[in-house]
Chains A and B, each alone.
Chain A
Amino acid sequence: MAFKRSSPLPGFGLTFGYTVTYLALLVLIPMGALSLRVATHMTWAEFWKLATADIAVATYRLTFGASLAAALLNAVFGTLLAWVLARYEFTGRRVLDALVDFPFALPTAVAGLTLADLFSGNGWLGRFLMPLGIKVAYTWLGIVVALTFVGLPFVVRTLQPVLENLDRETEEAAATLGAGRLRTFFSVIVPTLTPALLTGFALSFARAIGEYGSVIFISSNKVFEGQITPLLIVHRLEEYDYTGAMALAVVMLVFSFTLLIGINALERWASRFQD
């Protein structure tokens, strides 16, 4: 069996070679360097001790907990936004549609800066929430807010095309057969949407796990309390503790790869539903 199926088009060798070389220089070699460094500079026991230290586990708990909460919020509100954008005509629909991509386009540092200010004591939202006893800025909740902002487009943009392509006729058939509005929703629409929704959820979760820029503005950044894993890596680097930083980075890489494999599987599953 040949490596490549024959094609009349020219340029495969050149473009394929360039692509692989570029990827090797930019991704594979740096990633290999990190892994090699960890493998040669510490024993498994040392690595395990660094990766499971109390301070590290506290950051995993915060990073995962807040990312999960944000991804769940995004699943709910993202579905709502996608539904409204795909199904309804109303004034401002186009503006809303364009705005959904705003978190993609806005640098994360700016997002963190403005969200922290909005929810601070004299910010536009904080001044109403603080008297009610709801503290957002510099708490766990603030991290969730920042991660929700950053991950919102993923759910909307994964669901929207599926909703737009959803066969109206199937719904109408269900309705003709006597299914009520809720029953149609749960037995016709929900099963079709589930794979796409899971994909969007996983994408937004993965994005939140690695997020750094927006969180450090709105978090208290206190050790054991408001410190996310990427921030602990940065602190380790600032202390010239390269081994500590690399051990944590490898843990994060393992998480990322696991999620990436999961997302790929989900996307393949979701595309089966599309046809």
Chain B
Amino acid sequence: MVKWTLITIALLFAGTFLVLPLANVFYQALSKGFGSYFRALVEPDTLASIRLTLLVAGISVPLNCFFGVVAAWAVAKFDFKGKALLLTLIDLPFSVSPVVAGLMFVVLFGLQGYLGEWLDAHDMKIIFNVPGIVLATLFITFPFVARELIPLMQAQGSDQEQAALTLGANGLQTFWYVTLPSVKWGLLYGVILCNARAMGEFGAVAVVSGRVSGLSETMPLRVEKLYNEYNAAAAFGVASLLALLALLTLGVKTWLEHRQSLEMERSQEVEEPSTVSHPL
């Protein structure tokens, strides 16, 4: 009785708050038919926003992926003073409002900012331009890969790496052949989360982009612009692409978790005899 009541409430809540909003995106996007849906998507400014979003994610995701791996190696494999502080710094973007994050870059690079005049004199533009959007996106998304890898690499310890080094492997070989394979699913998961956030970031990008259609407008900004122009169907059209991205992200995540649990079972089967033969 209690069980089914709780399950029903949970499903009703999830249905209203999670499924309905999702279904509504596609319903509204297609409300005027497929023809007008595709016409809305190939509109030049919309195409430009898709290209810009792909470009920004294409730059910021690899950079943050590299940072995540490097930071995880330093934090998970070594003990040093101030580790807690470093971890807090890595978590910072989670608790800073995106708008404030964007403003920080405006203060630094904007025309009123510290480097504004120098940049202007050298004919470089960061704020209201693509580099500003990339910087804001980098700030918002850098914790994702690191946060995913650090607990994984900590849990695995460094026995296997030490064994590899004893056998004559160098540092990079050890990382490439020992560490990386054991965290690959976690790494992939961090990357897709980072990517989802990079493509979907709104607040920070809105502050630094200047929102010029066709030039500095990412897909989420395009959604708002179309909505404010009372073009709801087109806004939902662009939104439907972002919703597809979210669904894809969830799909990959579920698949990765499945793979991980399969491998865990398999490795436990292999390890069982060895734990018996080494009771200590």
Question: Interface of A with B (CB < 8 Å)?
Answer: 3-5, 7-12, 15-16, 18-20, 22-23, 26-31, 33-34, 37, 77, 80-81, 83-85, 88, 90, 92, 94, 96, 98-111, 113-115, 117-118, 123-125, 148-149, 152, 181, 206-207, 209-213, 216-217, 229-231, 233-234, 237, 242, 245-246, 249, 252-253, 256-257, 259-260, 263-264
Contact = CB atoms under 8 A, between A and B. Distances in A.
Interface string B108-138: 1000111000000000000000000001001
B91 interface: yes
A114 B28 contact: yes
**B interface, size bucket:** 35 or more
A215 B90 CA distance: 26
B184 to A, nearest CB: 19
A257 B100 CA distance: 13
A28 B89 CA distance: 9
A105 B89 CA distance: 23
Contact of A212 (B75, B99, B107, B196): B99
A263 B75 CA distance: 20
A125 B24 CA distance: 11
B187 interface: no
Which 6 residue pairs across A and B have the least CB separation, nearest first? A107-B200, A210-B97, A213-B202, A212-B203, A30-B104, A10-B171
Contact of B11 (A29, A96, A102, A115): A96
Interface in B184-230: 193, 196, 199-203, 206-207, 219-221, 223-224, 227
A107 B201 contact: yes
Contacts, number: 278
A217 B9 contact: no
A83 B10 CA distance: 9
Interface centre among A3, A249, A260 (most CB of B within 10 A): A249
A210 B97 CA distance: 4
A211 B93 CA distance: 12
A7 B24 contact: no
B79 A107 contact: no
A98 to B, nearest CB: 5
Contact of B254 (A31, A94, A117, A125): A94
Contact of B74 (A16, A33, A102): A16
B25 interface: yes
13 contacts: A9-B77, A10-B171, A11-B171, A12-B78, A15-B70, A15-B71, A22-B142, A81-B10, A106-B22, A108-B203, A109-B221, A181-B2, A210-B97
B79 A7 contact: yes
B42 interface: no
Contacts of B247: 105
A237 B107 CA distance: 11
Interface of B: 2-3, 6-7, 9-11, 13-14, 16-22, 24-25, 28, 67, 70-71, 73-75, 77-81, 84, 86, 88-101, 103-108, 112-114, 135, 138-139, 142, 158, 161-162, 165, 170-171, 174-175, 193, 196, 199-203, 206-207, 219-221, 223-224, 227, 232, 235-236, 239, 242-243, 245-247, 249-251, 253-254
A46 B108 CA distance: 22
A176 B93 CA distance: 48
A9 B165 contact: yes
A19 B71 contact: yes
A16 B249 CA distance: 31
B3 to A, nearest CB: 6
Contacts of B201: 107
A117 to B, nearest CB: 6
Contacts of B203: 108, 210-213, 230
B220 A92 contact: no
A257 B24 CA distance: 37
